[in-house]
Amino acid sequence: MQPQYLSSSFTCQNCFKHFTELAILHCSRWNGVSCSKRHPNRVVSLSLQSQGLVGSLSPNIGNFSFLRIINLQNNTFNGPIPQEMGRLRRLQMIEFSNNSLGCGIPTNLSQCINLYYLNLIDNELTGAIVPEIASLVNLQSLGLSDNMLSGTFPPFLGNLTDLFQLSLRDCGLQGAIPQSLVQLRRLRLLNVIDNDLTGSVPLGLYNLSTIEVFSLAYNRLNGTIPSFTLPNLKTFHLTSNHFTGELPASISNSSLIEIINLSANDFTGNMIDFTRLSTLRSLVASASNFRGDIHTILSSLTNCTSLRKLSLANNHFTGSLPNSIGNLSRQLNILSIDRNQLIGRIPSSIGTLIGLSILSADTNDLEGPIPWSIGKLHNLQEIYLRGNRLTNEMPMSFGNLTLLNFLLLKQNNLFGSIPPSLGNCTNLSLLDLAENNLNGSIPPEIMRLSSISIGFNISHNVLMGAIPSEVGALRNLVELDMSHNRLSGNIPTSLSSSIMLSWLVLSSNSLQGEIPDSLKSLRGLQYLDLSHNNLSGMIPRFLVEFRLLYLNLSFNVLQGEVPILGVFQNESAISLEGNQNLCGGIVILNLPSCPSSPKSKKNGLGKILIPTVAAGALCLALAACLCVIMYKRRSFQNVGTPVAIFQMPELLRLSYSDLLSATDGFSETNLLGEGRFGSVYKGTINDDDEQTDVAVKVLNLNNLSSTQGSSSSAIKGTIGYIAPEYGMSYVASTQGDVYSYGVLVLEMFTNRRPTSDAFEGCLNLQDFVSTGLTDRVMEVVDPFLHQELNVDEKYWDCFVSILRIGLRCSKQLPRDRMLMAEVVDDLKKIRNVFPVYKNGRNVASYQH
């Protein structure tokens, strides 16, 4: 019988409540519940492991006074372990591993004097290992691994003399291993991996004859390994410490040993003789400063018929690989001998290691051909032979390795063609053949391997011909490098199917034609290098939309305008030199300005003027006010009543014909000033027999002789007002118009022209305004505004706001300037906060 509250939604609070109420009546009918034979209504065992149970442990558990075994392993219980468990005097076994129990180890467990098994591994317990544990004198197995404990390694654990398993892996212990542990004469397993233990290991631990598992890895222990007698030793794990000295030959006496892991230490001298260790399954001794002849070591391992893993990488082994390598265990799965000083050939006898799945011999001095027999290793998944002096052709037998996942042969002297048989390796995900002398064409067979996803690198060879169109089959490929070859023809449009590419390098070939527009589908590109080819045409505009971190198009025959957005904004991220016909781009590139044909000027200007004039019209109210101020500055005579310029009730609406009449048809006699951004005319408006002088500004037009709405055919640029990117000639842009507008705003409010002699060296109008804007605004603003007009202090915020608009519009880089829509919005806000009036009458002028 399994009650409802033992389902996946069961909570332990309910569990123990119902147990205490119902156990007497229905004890034997509960799944996972066992009752006493002498006392049928008394629960003696709760075995509820792997039931998907959740919740916290109820204090009611303390009511099960006859309970001997409680197993809640592999559930999701959380919260503290109840102190009430200390009432369970008959309890012998607590198995709570693989839950989420928290808080500290309950001190009341010390009252469970019959407890011999306590496993709290893989929970979230905190605090120190409580000294009350020492009261559990019958304890034989203590597991506290994989918790969040703290403190030092407690010496009182040495008092648990019946202990045969002590597992304290990754539980936050610090300090030295206590000398008291040598008292644990029955200890079979000592696991303190991955803590922060320091100092030397007590010598007595090396003579505990019962030890089977001796695991001290991933600490900061030091000292030498003494000669020892551990006849029952099966696992000797010392990885990632600071042990020094030579390995004791006495290890060879531990004839039952299966696992030796000595990696990442500072040993010296030679390896031991492994001839007597016939049960050895794994030997890992990489990066430990060992020396010796590889021939001797491998020959002594041929008697280890169960050997599955052999790693001797990153040491100082010398000599050549013996033919006896073929006598190693047929069960050998991993052979790693990379980063040593090995010489000679790879013996053909390696083909007998039929269990091999990983072969790694990188960065040695191996030479000669890759043996044909390697094709017999049908279980091979990874081959690493980089950084040697291997020669001859790649064996066709590579095609037999249908499980092959990684093939890395970079930095050798291989020559000949790439074998088309590689097309049979349908599980290949990484192919690196770079920096060899491979020639011929790229076999289309390998281009069809859609499994290649991590990388495809055939750079720095002498491959010729076109890039096969089959490259489009590499749909999952992330990195493609075919640089430094002799490839020719066009970049295949089918490459657009490789939509996962983030790294594409085709540099230093003889590719020609345009960069295909189809590559716009490669939106994940971050690194693109097409340099040193013969590519022509324009730089594709779609590159602006990519999130490129690096772009190299140098030394081609590209022409036309360089974009100024996207990656092209960052001079350090792009390389364009060696293309003689490029123009435009950001200023720092120092490219010539792009010439414009008359037709393109007219058409382009018309497209720019329409939105610019429309946006300018929206700025009408404030701009008119500014122009009035400009004109009054020049014609102002002592007036009895000062002009209050920031308040006005209702706007006076004027038509275009009114302005045409007021300016005598925009005659030159009424022209007050002319600049790159526009022209300002004096106008006289008659209203109710009263004359009002205004200044009318015309945006972006040079010629108003026609009133039919035609566009100007050219723009007169005035030094100081034209955008820096225009240079001596330019293609009109809205960003350029915004720049000129900003300069004009600054001039109006400062009464300083951008070409003033006051600005020498690197100083310009923008610098003058910017440096004084925070605390010297009265020195920046035209004295006319605050002396003659008696402007109150509260209006300085208005001046600062308008000057900031001028500065933001006249930034050096186009991308940093405001949009005209933003200008309109900001000016509207200023106008609403600071309304304008003149002599009690509203004035406005229309801009065209």
Point out the annotated binding site: 697
Q: What is the DSSP letter of 786?
A: I
Alpha carbon distance 139, 94 (integer Å): 11
Task: Tell me the C-alpha distance between 345 and 322, whole Å.
Answer: 9
Q: Whole-angstrom Cα distance, residue 524 to residue 526? A: 6
How far is the CA of 749 from the CAs of 533, 676, 784, 798, in angstroms? Answer: 54, 18, 9, 11
- Cα separation, 248 vs 234, whole angstroms: 16
Dihedral, 531, 535, 536, 541 alpha carbons, nearest 10:
-60
Structure tokens at 472: 């489009």
Q: What angle do CA 66, 71, 72 make, to 5 degrees?
A: 125
- The Cα–Cα gap between 567 and 575 comes to 11
Q: Extract the runs of DSSP E, i.e. beta strands, from 385-519.
A: 389-390, 406-408, 415-416, 430-432, 437-441, 455-457, 462-466, 479-481, 486-490, 503-505, 510-514
Annotated binding site for ATP: which residue ranges? 697
- Count of CB atoms situated within 10 Å of the CB of 661: 15
CA distance 404 to 398: 9
Joined together, the tokens standing for residue 71 give 């197993």
**CA-CA distance, 254 to 270, in Å (whole number)?**
18
Judging by beta carbons within 10 Å of its beta carbon (0-12, 13-18, 19+), is residue 5 exposed, middle or buried?
A: middle
Nearest to 286 by CA among 258, 259, 317, 325: 317
C-alpha–C-alpha distance, residues 833 and 823, integer Å:
16
User: 145 phi and psi, to 5 degrees?
Assistant: -65, 155
